[in-house]
Amino acid sequence: MEQTSPVPVAAIESAPTLQKPKRVMGRFNRWDTPWLNTKLLSGLGILSAILLIGLIGPLIWDTSLALTRAAPRNLPPVGFTNWRGQEGVWEHPLGTDNNGRDMLAVLIVGAPNTFLIGFIAASVGIVIGTILGFCAGFIGGVVDDFIRLIADIVITIPVLMVLIVLQSAFKQIDIQTMALLIAAFAWPRATRQIRAQVLSMRESGYVRMAKLSGASTFDIMFKEMMPNLIPYLFASFIAGATGAILAAVGLETLGLGPQRIPTLGSTIYNAIRGTALSLNMWWWWGLPSLLLATMFIGLLLVNLGLDEISNPRLRQASKS
């Protein structure tokens, strides 16, 4: 019987030792928690900056200049000239419109008002959608069929046409009324999304184990399932806010929004009505449009970040 020769000690000492593979991370992805990713943080940073304009702006700038006839008319921004050859002045650094409103003051007042419409509409829509979606997915049966039927009927309604009719019926409309009108048609999509997630969670192993252990329905819904729904609720909220702002801006550019309270959409409508394009008053419509585009980019980045949080495959793909 052959005997194996002993391995020299020097060979053992010189053999490479097994080491744990080091985790390769990107330059900006050095966090272990999925709640912190570049898209989410970038989007929140953009939205926070826009909100700070509305919060800090009144402390450093006179927002009463957003009223009509509060400043000289048709002044360009500093460093530019208008069709009359007038140059911009530092008293109105972003120029004025043909109604004598300071554009910086209009943006400071209008950005938070536009945000407020989206926040109210999305909040009401997500609350209704969560309640109905949870009931439909968890209870099922006749309740599920009835809620799905109502949601499908509301989704098939031409929302824009109905909102135009409703808005035109009001002589004066404020921001809260406009947000509630938009929220009346914003809940069905959130309901369908929450229902789909509840249906998948209802058949999961941890819910079955909770039922077998004798947990109450309240504990199963709010202690077992609701924490796992939080990323989807945030994503639905951001999507609802984006849709509400789009609907509000669309209505305002048609002249159906609040006129006494400056918003970004109503500013664009006033620019269209005041023939700002033909007069080459780009600051009148360009600045609120740029702020709106920045706002939508921030909302998009937040939505993409929340998608990565709720979808492990997207999270792994972003880290690779």
For 176-189, what is each residue's pLDDT tens digit? 888 888 888 888 88
- The model's pTM is 0.79
Q: What's the first-to-final CA gap in the chain, in angstroms?
A: 53
Q: Where are the domains of the chain?
A: 38-315
Question: Are 244 and 115 in contact, with CB atoms under 8 Å apart?
Answer: no
**pLDDT at 306 (0 to 100):** 83
Q: For residue 223, what pLDDT is reported?
A: 76
How far apart (Å, rounded) are the C-alpha atoms in residues 216 and 238? 32
Q: Identify which of 249, 301, 244, 296 has the alpha carbon closest to the alpha carbon of residue 40.
A: 301
pLDDT of residue 120: 92
Length of the chain, please? 320
Structure tokens at 68: 């009509």
Dihedral, CA atoms, 114, 116, 118, 121, nearest 10 degrees?
-140
Amino acid identity, residue 97?
Answer: D
Place of tokens 């005041």: 274
User: What is the rounded CA–CA span in Å between residue 207 and residue 247?
Assistant: 39
CATH number 1.10.3720.10 given to 38-315? yes
pLDDT (0 to 100) of residue 119: 92
Segments of the chain with pLDDT less than 70: 1-36, 171, 311-320
pLDDT of residue 299: 92
**Residue 67: which of 95, 97, 37 has the closest Cα?**
97
Six token digits for residue 188: 């069905």
Q: Residue 206 has what pLDDT? A: 76
* Per-residue 3-state assignment (H helix, E strand, C coil) for the chain: CCCCCCCCHHHHHHCCCCCCCCCCCCCCCCCCCCCCCHHHHHHHHHHHHHHHHHHHHHHHCCHHHHCCCCCCCCCCCCCCECCCCCECCCCCCCCECCCCCEHHHHHHHHHHHHHHHHHHHHHHHHHHHHHHHHHHHHHCHHHHHHHHHHHHHHHHCCHHHHHHHHHHHCCCCCHHHHHHHHHCCCHHHHHHHHHHHHHHHHCCHHHHHHHHCCCCHHHHHHHHHHHHHHHHHHHHHHHHHHHHHHHHHHHHHCCCCCCCCCCHHHHHHHHHHCCCCCCCCHHHHHHHHHHHHHHHHHHHHHHHHHHHHHCHHHHHHHHC
pLDDT digits (tens, 9 = 90+) for 42-85: 999 999 999 888 889 889 999 888 888 888 998 999 989 888 88
Phi and psi at 311, nearest 5°, equal: -120, 105
